[in-house]
Chains A and B, each alone.
Chain A
Amino acid sequence: MLDMTPKEPAERKAVTINPCKTCQPVGALYCALGVHGCMPHSHGSQGCVSYHRTILSRHFKEPAIASSSSFTEGASVFGGGSNLKTALRNVFDIYHPDIVAIHTTCLSETIGDDLNSYLMETTIPDGKYVVYANTPSYAGSHVTGFSAMMAGFIRFLAEKGTPNGRTAIFPGFVNPGDIRELKRILRVFRVSHIMFPDQCDVMDAPMTGDSRMYPDGGTTIEEIKALGSCERVLALGALASEEPANQLKRKCGVPYSLLDSPIGMEATDAFIMALSSLGDGTVPEEIEKERGRLVDFLLDAHPYFHGKSAAVYGDPDTVTGITRLVLEMGMTPRYVLTGTPGEAFASSVRALLAQYDAQGCEVRAGGDLFELHQRIKNEPVDVMIGTSYGKQIARAEDIPLVRAGFPVLDRYGHPYHPLVGYRGTMRLAEMIANALMDRRDRDCKDEDFELVM
């Protein structure tokens, strides 16, 4: 496995090998699936949306609908206006969405298609909506594409009205299981909120024998409009949620608090305290007990993970959260890597490392998995935590792998379960502990094999 990867790292300036990110449009598509009755639409060649639907279905094991402007060579030369108009007519006519969320691609962006003017010339059926976002594949990553699409919905729909006393929650690029857990916590706090986007019951729709193009879930158009009248936004995860929060602030003056994705003890504490400050400053007993159980677990099991080293890779907001937990577990996040470019990630992870006085750790934004592999070859780690794309390295170097983040293509069930909150953090910590303990069980001599650990 990966036998051709040399141990000696060489500086590369041009070629990305085994990427740790993908392109903006797939993030935009996933965001739009979190809106009820929404048809995501890719303004580009149909191959883009084919790849995006495929990877989303492989991660969630769910249908991922989206339409395409199906560019051919002619459209690429003369512009995609006519394709877009035809597409919108057909989408409304055949698939009856309430709203179409268009995202652009490297193709339509390179030829400079102006969606604004195309849409001005298009008749949109009464009571239906079309929004768009610019998501060229040659900038950012799938995470920034997600963020751009959120901002697009807000730009078109959010309205400043009478204050509704609600709190908007931007969960970031996470699984339905995470959003479900956030909603549970909000219910415990009795926080009246709008979750945006919300892929629950869309990308984890129950099996009923009845296939529906637009399942029950998703943030409704009315809710997106009402974002403009919210009291405050809790934006979780800087890379995914700050841009839309800013957009809402600029458009409707709604203030926001930017929090880290609530993965790990302290990030969840910060989220919980932010929720408590929305109310009377208290924290429900149920939540405090959850926290206590997590602390209990971390103390009980610490001999099996304290002092171990980890490589954490994947999307920036998730990786920051996992890195925090790894530090809280007394482990060393030897390598922390995201493929998404941007120094903000690196500086926030470095601040975390400094807080724990963690030595010898390397942090990389805009990196790739080839680089990670070369580093691991030179100094191995005890566990890898990240997406399925690390499984080759894990096999090559015989390192246990804990799957977390997007995408996880080779296991089932994970999108139902959270990484966020105390319960999600407990789950992640347990997965890490078990991976290390399974490895010890596997590798020890018979005479050292323990029934009780």
Chain B
Amino acid sequence: MDPKAHVLERYHAKVFKNRKEHILRIDHAEEAQTITANTRTIPGIITNRGCCYAGCKGVVLGPLKDVAVITHGPIGCGFYSWGTRRNKAAPDEEGKNFTQYCFSTDMQEPDIVFGGDKKLRAAIDEVYSLFSPGSIMICSTCPVGLIGDDIHAVAAEAEKKYGIPVVAYSCEGYKGVSQSAGHHIANNGLMKRIIGADDAPPATKYSINLLGEYNIGGDGWEVERILKRCGYEIVSIFTGDGSWKKIARSHMANLNIVQCHRSINYVAEMMKEKYGVDWLKVNFIGVAAVADSLRRMAKYFGDAELSRRTEEVIADESAAIAGEMDSCKTKLDGKTAALFVGGSRAHHYMHLLAELGVRTVLTGHEFGHRDDYEGRKVLPFIKEDADNKNIEHLHVEPDQKKYRAFLSQEEYGRLKAEIGLEDYAGMIRDMENGSYVVDDLNHFETEQFLKCLQPDIFFSGIKDKYMLQKAGVLSRQLHSYDYSGPYAGYTGAIRFGHDVIMGLYTPAWRFVTPPWRNISSLEGSFGGDI
């Protein structure tokens, strides 16, 4: 039976009607295939999605190492988002690194009944007197919005008192339909209060910001190394190993490069609008993808010397790993994979897997929007629903004093299409005919697709990792890299290859079936052959 039909047939009518729009079999002969995304998860369906707070504090703001982020709410949310995401950070010049700390107002029943703003105010005072941070940010959790604590007024008051930026984010977990709403809220806050606050100019012409790179497993550091080798000056990173002080002058850079489109495209868009900074979607996962990204960046700057260095770096770094890439490929060739990750990685890793000889048969985003699947060309056609409308859409206008266009109009016109400025073509375009894309893949569908498509490897997150492995399929987490990484760049590609090989060939798979239950058909389905 057709896998899509097989998966859907057990649903009753309402769920069926909803979920069928989120599952798509790729057929490029069809014109413009569409998918439904960024809509509510049906209550009761075991989703992998998290919440608005997780997107705002956990993803975007948490990695800022020189900001004391206070979670205003009961203890859980702050606790869970403390030290659990591998957004690596080294101390800043002043020796500060707040990523090792969790600050929470740990609201208790009286705070819920009588209001928590007093406690928040006192918490800010205590954090300031203990750590004198350069900036404080406040993230609220569900009950805060319900009882109506005015965290923005508290923040404004503290800002006046201490003379540092204190920014509040109303990122209650119930807002929006997933983490994605939180990304947007965090983007808005950074745009309103941090970006553009310091006009210190970069030292060179090749100044860029790295957007949507959270330095998971040190990816950002590896990307930074390659970019610096090519001759770029990295003004700021949003937000892995990031600094609010650097983000404050990010508008002075000449180009924004965007790794994770989903979580940070709002900033990219708004900076283009307000300050004239162009943005370019890049991908540093996969050997060809890195080279392609570097070449498009070099074209943007249109400098012969930069292009020469870029080619030199590409040639040098890819030659250094070519042998190992081939050797990895011999062990992985012909395998198939499923990829279910956040809002961009499912797309990024398809390329690297293909280079290793692994075909992707199923992909999906946990919290992607239609533009992540179908490309930004669909943006004008996405219908707003009640959940999206509740998330503020900032309207920005060109800043009369600070707006600068790096490219002439003529250059812009020529390069826009050539290198894909301000564009993202989406994941579907790069998928194979006959493969499946599933938005907000859930526990039940994972089980069903596993049976139908029988991938050799399932890349996902911690919530389904052990369920998949219990079913005899290697699962590696692509949120945390299972504590390995970096996977970005050239050496990252090799490390990734080795990790997958290790997972497939580790001898323990051979012991799953005890010798006294020697059923040969079962034995063959585990891991790789040696």
Contact = CB atoms under 8 A, between A and B. Distances in A.
B32 interface: no
Interface in A83-119: 83-84, 86-91, 93-95, 105-107, 110-111
A95 B49 contact: no
B40 A72 contact: yes
A13 B176 CA distance: 33
A58 B480 CA distance: 12
A207 B512 contact: yes
B305 interface: no
B104 A16 contact: yes
A444 interface: no
Nearest to B120: A14
A18 B102 contact: yes
A94 B96 contact: no
B464 A63 contact: yes
Interface stretch (A133-141, A185-193, A278-286): A133-141
A75 B78 CA distance: 23
Contacts of A94: 10-11, 15, 44-45, 444
B502 to A, nearest CB: 16
Given A107-B174, A111-B146, A22 B512 contact: no
A184 to B, nearest CB: 23
Interface in A49-94: 50-51, 53-55, 57-58, 61-76, 83-84, 86-91, 93-94
Interface in B1-55: 10-12, 15, 40-54
A10 B130 contact: yes
Interface string A128-151: 000000001111010000000000
A295 to B, nearest CB: 38
Interface string B163-190: 0000000001111111100000000000
Given A14-B122, A210-B471, 20 more contacts: A14-B105, A14-B126, A17-B103, A19-B75, A22-B80, A46-B49, A47-B49, A47-B51, A63-B464, A65-B443, A69-B44, A70-B41, A70-B42, A72-B174, A90-B43, A106-B142, A107-B143, A138-B109, A138-B111, A211-B468
Contact of B174 (A50, A76, A95): A76
Contacts of A106: 73-74, 76, 107, 112, 141-143
Nearest to B73: A106
A45 interface: yes
Interface string B42-83: 111111111111100000000000000010011111111111
B131 interface: yes
Interface stretch (A1-9, A160-168, A306-314, A329-337): A1-9
A63 B43 contact: no
Contacts of A14: 105, 119-123, 125-126
Contact of A137 (B75, B119, B462): B75
B76 A48 contact: yes
Nearest to B511: A207
B75 A15 contact: no
Chain A interface size, as a band, is: 35 or more
B203 interface: no
Nearest to B48: A50
A44 B91 CA distance: 37
A2 B130 CA distance: 13
Contacts of A48: 51, 76, 173
A448 to B, nearest CB: 35
Interface string A22-51: 110110000000000000010011111011
B79 A46 contact: no
A185 B40 CA distance: 49
B127 A15 contact: yes
Most B-side CB within 10 Å, residue of A10, A15, A21, A207:
A15
Given A63-B467, A211-B471, A138 B143 contact: yes
A198 to B, nearest CB: 19
* A10, A26, A53, A141 interface centre (most CB from chain B within 10 Å): A53
A12 to B, nearest CB: 5
A67 B444 CA distance: 12
A70 B143 contact: no
Contact of A22 (B76, B126, B472): B76
Contacts of A17: 101-103, 130
B522 A209 contact: yes
A71 B74 contact: no
Contacts of B141: 106
A95 B44 CA distance: 9
B162 interface: no
Nearest to A206: B470
Contacts of B105: 14-16
A205 interface: yes
B129 interface: yes
A66 B112 CA distance: 27
Contacts of A136: 74, 109, 112
A86 B462 contact: no
B492 to A, nearest CB: 23
Given A50-B463, A65-B46, A70-B41, A95 B444 contact: yes
A69 B42 CA distance: 8
A72 B177 contact: yes
A57 B466 contact: yes
A68 B44 CA distance: 5
B13 to A, nearest CB: 11
B44 A58 contact: no
Nearest to A11: B126
A15 B123 contact: yes
B387 interface: yes
A67 to B, nearest CB: 5
A4 B470 contact: no
